Structure 1
Amino acid sequence: MLSVAASAALLLPLLSGAPPAGADAPVADSLQRQFAAAAERHGVPQSVLLAVSYLQSRWDGHAGAPSVTGGYGPMHLTDTATALARSVPHPSEDGEDARGDDARPARSGAEAAPPSPEELPARLRTLERASALSGIPAEELRTSTAANIEGGAALLAAAQREAGLAPSTDPADWYGAVARYSGADDAATAAAYANDVFDVIRTGEERVTDSGQRVVLPAAPAVAPETGQVAALGLRAPERGPVECPTTVACEWIPAPYEEFGDGDYGNHDKGDRPVSQSIDYIVVHDTEATWDVTLKLVQDPTYVSWQYSLRSSDGHVAQHLPLKDVGWHAGNWFVNAKSVGLEHEGFLTAPDSWYTEAMYRSSARLVRYLAQRYDIPLDRQHVIGHDNVPGTVTSSIRGMHTDPGPYWDWAHYFRLLGRPLTPSAGPAAGVVTIRPAYGENRPVYTGCATAGEACAPHGSGAVRLHTAPSADAPLVKDIGLRPGGQDSTTGVNDTGARASTGQSYAVAERRGDWTAIWYLGQKAWFHNPAAAPTAVNARGRVLTPREGLAEVPVYGRAYPEASAYPAGVPVQAVSPLPYRLLAGQKYVVGHKTPGEYYYAPVFDSSGHRVVRGQEEYYQIQFGHRIAFVKAADVRVSQS
C-alpha cells in the first residue's frame, strides 16, 4: 500500500462517509428489463450492454456508492471529482517501514496530494459525458440504477458513432466501441478489455446482484468480433520493454529507479537474482490510495518505495516497475519482501462501500496465475496474501503494519478467477476449516470508517469475527501484539486482532452447535458457523503442534538464520520472537517449510549483496489474521 494523502495504510476499502441511497426499489426482474429498454432506445445490442456492465460491476449497483476510482452504478460511470469531494481522510497506522530491515534506516512512503478535478483524465470523468449525451442529471446517474444504465448505453452508442461504425444489431460489430468504452489510452489495453467483454458474451453469465435481482446473459459462443476495429481508434502503443506478464493482460514497462542520492541513501528497491538466489514464495495483494497517474509518479521517485506491478481499476491495465529478479520495498517485512512479488491495485479513499471493478479483479487473477506457475507458488491464502496478512518483523513493528486490502476485498471471487474455488475437501468431522462466508450476505458491523466508534455503511465482507466464547455477546479475542495491555479487540475496520478472512485455514479446536472454535494467536477463538448458512468449509491439511515435552514454543515474524550462519562482514540479525506463544495442545495449519534466510543488501553497490542461509529451518503457519513462523525443531507436524 502506498503512503499518500491520508497514507497507504488505509487503503481503499477502509473508507468513509455513508453512501447515498439508491433511487430504485428492487422489483422482480426490473434490472434485466432496464438493460433491455436502454439497449433498445440507444440501438446497442443487449448482450454488449450487459457484458460491458458485467466487466465493470458484475451488475451490482452498490447502493449508489462509488468504486475505488469514483465509478458509479452498474455501468461504472466515473465521477472521481465528486467521489473525492465526499471522502473523509482516515487516520493511518504509524510508521511502517516498507523495507522492514533492521540493518538500515527505515524507508516509508512520501505523501502526495489528491488530484484536482481539472487534472483527472477523461476515463475518470465519464459520468459527466454520459449526462451530456443522455440529458440525465449527474446526481440521477450516480444514484438511479436505471438512469446509470441509460447513461452507459448512451456512451456506447456514441463510441460506435465516433468510430465511424454503422448502428448494428450484431454484437460482433461493436468491438471498437467496447474498446473505446474502456477509457484506455493504449491499443493493447483497449483490446484486452474488449476481449474480456466478448468472452463474457460467448460464455454467458448469470447471477443475483447486490439488490437481489437475477440477471441473465445467455451464452453466444458463435460471436466473432471485428477485432481490427481497434486499429482505427488512434490509440498509442504501450511501452512493452522487458515486461514479465501473461499474454492475456495488457502490460507495459514503467521502471522504478535504482539511484543513489547522497548520505549513502539510495532507492527505491534492491537488485537481486531471484529465483537463483532465493525462491519467490509469496504474492502480496495491496491497494493504493492514489489515482493511476499519481501512483506512477510515486513509484518513479527514487526517494519513495517500490513494488513489482500496478493495476488500473477502470480497465485492468498493468504496469510493471521492477524485474522479478529484484526486490521491492512494499510489505514492511524484509524477509517477505525478499521472497515476494507485490501487486498494487489502484484506488483511494471514497466511502465505506468502495468496490473494485471486475476488470481489475480479472487482470490481477491472470497475473497471479502466471506468477504462481512461473515460480511454483501454491494458490492458497498462505502464499497469495494481503498486505494485512504480513506479520510484523519484531514486537515493536506489529502495531504499525498495514491493513490493506481490508475486509471488503472479495477473496472468494478472486480465487474463483484464479481457478481455485474454495470448496470443501473433508467431511463434517474435519480437523481444519477454511473461512468462506457468503460475501454478499456476510455483513459484520465495522466501525471507524469516517468517525471513530461510528458504524460504517453495511457492506459485504469476506471476514468473520472471532469471540472468546460461542456467543455473539462474548468479548472479541485479544491480540497482545496490537494491545500489549490486554484490552479486547474492537470492531474497527482497521483492527485485525479478531478477524479471520476468506481462504484462511485454521485447525479446529472445538465445535458446539452453530459455533466453531479455531486455534488463533495462542487461544481458542469462536465464530458463528451454522450448518444452514456456513461461514467456513471443512478442509484437510497439515497441522503442527509443539513437540513432546515443550509446553510452548516461540512464534516469529521472519525466518532468519542462526547467528553462526553469518559470515564476517555481515551483521547478525536478531532472531527475535513475537509476544505470542504457541501452546502445547494447540494446532496450526502449515504453509510450507523454509530455511532461515537473510538477504544482505544495505548499500547501493550490489556487488556486495549476498544471501545468508542457515541450517535452522522454519514452518510458516496461519497463526492469526497474519501468517507467522515457528522453528521446525520446536514442533511436530501431522495430517489433520
Structure 2
Amino acid sequence: MFLLVGPAGAAAPAVGMPGALQEAFTAAAQRYHVPTDVLLAVSYIESRWDAHAGRPSVSGGYGPMHLTDLRTALAQSRPVADGRDDTARTPDPSRTAALAASLTGLPEDRIRLDPAANITGGAALLASDQETLGQPLTTDPADWYGAVARYSGSGTQAAAADFADEVFDVIRSGEVRTTDSGQRVALAALPAVASPTAQVRAPGLPTGHSGHTECPSSLRCTWIPAPYEQYGPEPTDYGNHDLAERPKDSSIDYIVIHSTESTWDAAIGLVKEPTYLGWHYTVRSSDGAVAQHLATKDVGWHAGNWYINAKAIGIEHEGFLADPDAWFTEAMYRSSARLVRYLAHRFRIPMDRQHIIGHDNVPGLTADTVAGMHTDPGPYWDWAHYFRLLGVPFHAAAGSGAGVVTIDPSYSRNGPALTGCVSRDEPCTAHGSSAMLLHTAPSESAPLVKDAGLHPDGRSTSDVNDTGARVSAGQQYVVAGRRGGWTAIWYLGRKAWLRDPRRRRVTLPARAMVATPRRGQASIPVYGGAFPKASIFPTGIPVPADTTLQYRLPAGQSYVVGDKVTGEYYHSTMYNTAQQTWIRGTTYYEIQFGQRLGFVRASDVTLHRLR
C-alpha cells in the first residue's frame, strides 16, 4: 500500500483501499485542473488502468499513466524498444517519468511504482502540454484534444491523432473495469464530446501513411513488403509466400492472430527474408502502428497448416506470449481490432471464434505435425476484450441449462496456475487470463485431460505453451454434464470438466449447430484440414499427405460447427505461377474439437441444433 503526499501536503488516497484508484484520478484531475474524463480515458488507452505490479512495458512505461523511464527499465533487465518515434516532447521523451517528477516534486521511484503518484504525474504532464499549446485549463474535454495527442509522445501527425481519437472514443463510449489490483474503475459515457482534430495539425509533421496498403483510412499503416523471389537454382527455392487472386479464386475464411515471439525489429527482419515465412500484417506493441507485408490476395506461409494458409490472413503482434504486461498493450489491441473489423467486413468473414482464431487454435495438418504446432498468442491474450473492441462482445444467447456454452471467464479474476513462463516447471507470475484448464473429473486435484496428439505417452500439463487441456474465451462447446460448481464439455473425444461456480459462471448459455457421428458408426475420423478426396485430384497433381489426425470423434458426442466448407487444395509448389491450380471437392464441417479446430467429413456426421 502506498500513500502519496504532494508538495502542498495534500494526501492522496491509499490505492489498496476500496475505490481508492478512482479517487486518485479525481484528486489528480482536480489538482492540475484536468477534466477527470480526459485523465481516465488517457490512462485507459495507456494501460486499461492497470499498474502491472510496477513492471515496465516494452516502451519502458510504468503505471496506469504509462510514464516512461527506459534507463531504469533497461537496468532492470527488461526488454525495451522505444518504438513510438518520439521526437515531439522535450526533455528526453524516453523519460516522461522524470519530467512528471520535476512537475510534481515527487521522487521518480514513487512516480514509477506508486499508482496514485503515477496518476498525479500523468495529470501534471497533461496540464503542462495544454499550457505549452497555449490552451486554457478548461473543464470541456474537447478543449484537450491537442494535449492528449501530444501526451502520446508520437512524432507523426497520424500517430498522435490515432492516440487522441482512441482516447476520445473511450470518453464517448465510457468504460468500467476491474484492474489487475482488484480495483473497480468507471468512466461514464459522454457521447456528445467532439474530437477537434484541427488541434493536432502541425507544420512539418509527416502523415505517417503510405501507399500499397490495405488498411482502414483511420489506421496508421505502412508498406514493408515481403519478398517473392527465387533464391536458389531449383524452382522450389523461392519465398516467402505464394501469389494468388483471392477472393476471386478462393474465399478468405479466417484471420489468424499471432504473436511474433520477438521484437518488432526482429520480426520485420524475418519477414523481409525470402528463405523465411511471410505473413500479411504486423502490429507494433508500443503504439499500435501497422505494417503490411503481403497483399491480402496472396497466400502467406504463417499458420503451419497449408489449408488454413490458403484460406486465411495472418496478423502478427509484436511481443511474447509469456510476458503480456510488457507487450500486449491497449494501443496494439485497438489497432489490431480496427484492422480486423475492416478485413472481416471486406471479405465477409464472420466475427466469431471459429473464424477469428489464434495461432494456437490452428490444427496440425497431419498427425506428425500436431505436437509441433505453435501456441501463440497464448493464454494471456484477452479475447473477451478483443471481441468487445471488434463490436461483437460475447453474450448469453440461450436460457440457463442450454446444451451449448460459450467460454467467458472474467479475465482479471481468472488466473490459472500456469508454469514455464520463465523456465520449465517454474510457476508463472499470477496473472489474468482468457484460458481455463480442463480436468478428467470435477475436482481441482483431478489430472488434466489427455491430448493424444500432444502427449501420446502422458497427460497434459499446466505449461504456458501446453494447449492439450485448455479452452479460451469465446470458444463454444457442447455440454456433457454438470455437477455442483463444475460443467463438463465434449473435448478431444472425451468428457472434460471445468470449474464453473454458480455465483460466478465462466460459461454463457448458447445455441449452435452441432455435429455428431451418423447412426451406426462407433467413431469417425477428425481431419487437420479440408482437402478433397484423393480420387478428385487430376492426373499430374500429387496427392498431399493424409490429413487424418490421431483423434476420433466417438458416437454419442457432439461438437459445435463453425462452417460447412468445400474441400480445397491450392497446388503451388514452384516459382512458376502458370502451374498453380485450385482443386475442389468433398464437403466438410469445421468443428471446435479441442483448443484447436478440427474438420469432419459431412458424409460422416448428422447435424442438429442445440439450444
Q: 2:212 pairs with 217, 242, 250, which one?
A: 242
Matches within 5 A, 1:375-524: 375-485=347-457, 487-524=458-495
Q: Is the 8 A contact 1:22 1:64 kept in 2?
A: no
Report the CA distance shift for 1:82/1:633 in structure 2 as closer, same or farther (over 3 A): farther
SS in 1 for 2:201: helix
Which digits, 9 at most, give the CA deviation of each residue in 1:425-463, with x for residues without a partner? 122332211111111111111111112222111111111
Whether the 8 Å CA contact 2:285–2:328 is kept in 1: the answer is yes
**1:283-302 superposed Cα distances (whole Å, 9 cap, x missing partner):** 11111233334433332332
Contact 2:83–2:287 at 8 Å: present in 1 too? no
The equivalent of 1:101 in structure 2 is none
* Residue of structure 2 in register with 1:559 after alignment: 530
| Structure 1 counterpart of 2:52, one-letter code | H
Assess, with a 3 A threshold, how the Cα gap between structure 1 residues 331 and 185 changes in structure 2: closer, same or farther. farther
Q: Is the 8 A contact 1:521 1:582 kept in 2?
A: yes
What secondary structure is seen at the aligned counterpart in 2 of 1:433? Answer: strand
- Contact 2:478–2:558 at 8 Å: present in 1 too? yes
Change (3 A) 1:224 1:589: closer
Q: Counterparts in 2 of 1:91-110, with a 5 A limit? A: none
1:466 Cα shift? 0.7
1:543 aligns with 2:533: no
CA distance 1:566–1:316, shift in 2 (3 Å): same
C-alpha distance in structure 2 between counterparts of 1:146 and 1:127, whole Å: 21
The match for 2:183 is 213
Shift in Å, 1:506? 0.8
1:584 corresponds to which residue? Answer: 555
Structure-2 change in CA distance of 1:68 and 1:570 (3 Å): farther
The one-letter code sitting in structure 2 at the alignment partner of 1:300 is K
Q: Name the aligned partner's letter for residue 597 of structure 1.
A: E
Provide the rounded CA distance (Å) in 1 between the counterparts of 2:276 and 2:108: 38
Q: Which moved more, 1:142-151 or 1:574-583?
A: 142-151
Q: Secondary structure at the match of 1:639?
A: strand
The 1:352/1:318 distance shift into structure 2, 3 A limit, reads: closer
Q: Are residue 143 (structure 1) and residue 113 (structure 2) matched? A: yes
1:232 alignment partner, SS class: coil
Deviation per CA, 1:389-419, whole angstroms, max 9, x where unpaired? Answer: 0011112211111111111111111122222
Equivalent residue, structure 2, for 1:58: 48
Work out which of the residue numbers 67, 77, 81 in structure 2 matches 1:77.
Answer: 67
| SS of the residue 1:196 aligns to | helix
CA distance in 2, matches of 1:221, 1:378: 28
- Indicate the residue corresponding to 1:619 in structure 2: 589
CA distance in 2, matches of 1:430, 1:216: 32
Change (3 A) 1:119 1:221: closer
Q: Where in structure 2 are the equivalents of 1:116-265 lying within 5 Å?
A: 122=86, 126=93, 128-135=95-102, 136-163=106-133, 165=135, 167-232=137-202, 234-264=204-234, 265=237
What is the CA-CA distance between 1:333 and the residue it aligns to?
A: 0.8
Residue identity in the other structure for 2:98:
S
Q: Does the CA-based 8 Å contact 1:127-1:138 persist in structure 2?
A: no
Q: Does 1:628 align with 2:598?
A: yes
Shift of 1:565: 2.2
Q: Percent identity?
A: 59
CA 120–531 in structure 1, closer or farther in 2 if over 3 Å, else same: closer
User: 2:582 aligns to what SS in structure 1?
Assistant: strand
Equivalence for 2:312: 340
Which position in structure 1 is the counterpart of 2:342?
A: 370
Cα 1:192–1:353 change in 2 (3 A) is closer
Deviations along 1:73-105, whole A, 9 cap, x unmatched? Answer: 1112344565566569xxxxxxxxxxxxxxxxx
Task: State the number of aligned residues.
Answer: 593
Q: 1:319: how far off?
A: 2.1
| Residue correspondence of structure 1 range 25-64 to structure 2 within 5 A | 25-64=15-54
* Deviation by residue 1:35-72 (Cα, 9 ceiling, x = unmatched): 23333444433322211111122212222233455432
More contact order relative to length (CA 8 Å, sep ≥ 6): 1
> Are the equivalent residues in 2 in contact too, given 1:21–1:63 (CA < 8 A)?
no
Per-residue CA deviation, residues 550-580 of structure 1 (Å, 9 max, x unaligned), is: 1111111111111222223321112231111
Find the aligned partners of 2:589 and 2:86 in 1 and give their Cα distance. 49
Decide whether the 8 Å contact of 2:280 with 2:294 is kept in 1. yes
Which stretch of the first structure deviates more once superposed, 151-160 or 424-433?
Answer: 151-160
Supply the distance in 1 between the matched residues of 2:398 and 2:74 (Cα, whole angstroms).
46
1:639 paired with 2:586, answer no
In structure 2, what is the Cα distance between the partners aligned to 1:286 and 1:71?
Answer: 23
Q: 1:78 to 1:462 in 2, by over 3 A?
A: same
Would the aligned equivalents of 2:29 and 2:36 in 1 still touch at CA under 8 Å? Answer: yes
Q: Which has the larger displacement, 349-358 or 300-309?
A: 349-358
Could you tell me how far apart the structure 1 residues matched to 2:309 and 2:449 are?
29
User: Which residue of structure 2 lines up, in the alignment, with residue 603 of structure 1?
Assistant: 574
What residue ranges of structure 2 are gaps of 5+ in the alignment?
A: 5-13
| Distance of 1:83 and 1:327 partners within structure 2 | 39
Q: Distance in 1 between matches of 2:173 and 2:353?
A: 28
SS in structure 2 opposite 1:516?
A: strand
* Counterpart code for 1:626: R
C-alpha spacing 1:542/1:218, structure 2 compared with 1 (3 Å): closer
Change (3 A) 1:234 1:53: farther
Query: What do residues 494-522 of structure 1 show as CA deviations (whole Å, max 9, x unaligned)?
Result: 11111011111111111222211111111
Q: Superposed, which structure 2 residues align to 1:282-321 within 5 Å?
A: 282-321=254-293
Amino acid at match of 2:37: S
CA distance in 1, matches of 2:135, 2:141: 12
Separation in structure 1 between the aligned mates of residue 2 and residue 248 of structure 2, nearest angstrom: 54
Supply the distance in 1 between the matched residues of 2:535 and 2:123 (Cα, whole angstroms).
68
Q: 1:471 to 1:348 in 2, by over 3 A?
A: closer
Report the CA distance shift for 1:131/1:582 in structure 2 as closer, same or farther (over 3 A): same
Judge which range, 158-167 or 526-535, deviates more: 158-167
The CA distance in 2 between the partners of 1:69 and 1:383, in whole Å, is 32
Q: Is residue 22–residue 143 contact of structure 1 (8 Å, CA) maintained in 2?
A: no
Question: Does structure 2 retain, via aligned residues, the 8 Å contact 1:84–1:350?
Answer: no
> Which residue pairs with 2:9 in the alignment?
none
CA gap of 1:151–1:302, structure 2 versus 1, over 3 A, is: farther
Aligned partners of 2:83 and 2:49: how far apart in 1? 29
Q: Is the 8 A contact 2:83 2:286 kept in 1?
A: no
Measured after TM superposition, the shift of residue 237 of structure 1 is: 2.1
Distance in structure 2 (CA, Å) of the matches to 1:74 and 1:519: 41
Query: Partner amino acid for 1:230?
Result: V
What are the superposed Cα offsets for residues 148-182 of structure 1, whole Å, 9 maximum, x if unpaired? 22332343344445545555544323222222222
CA deviation string 1:178-236 (max 9, x = no partner): 22222333322321221121222233333333323333333334433431122216321
Aligned counterparts of 1:310 and 1:173: Cα–Cα separation in 2: 34
**SS of 1:509 mapped into structure 2:** strand
CA gap of 1:500–1:220, structure 2 versus 1, over 3 A, is closer
Change (3 A) 1:40 1:223: same
Q: Structure 1 residues 294-303 or 434-443, which shifts more?
A: 294-303
Separation (CA, whole Å) in 1 of partners of 2:133 and 2:526:
61
Comparing 345-354 with 228-237, which one deviates more in the overlay?
345-354
Does the CA-based 8 Å contact 1:66-1:351 persist in structure 2? no
Deviates more, 1:33-42 or 1:374-383: 33-42
Gaps of 5+ in 1: 1-19, 89-113
What RMSD over aligned residues (CA atoms) do the two structures have, in Å?
Answer: 2.7
Residue 598 of structure 2 aligns to a residue in which SS?
A: strand
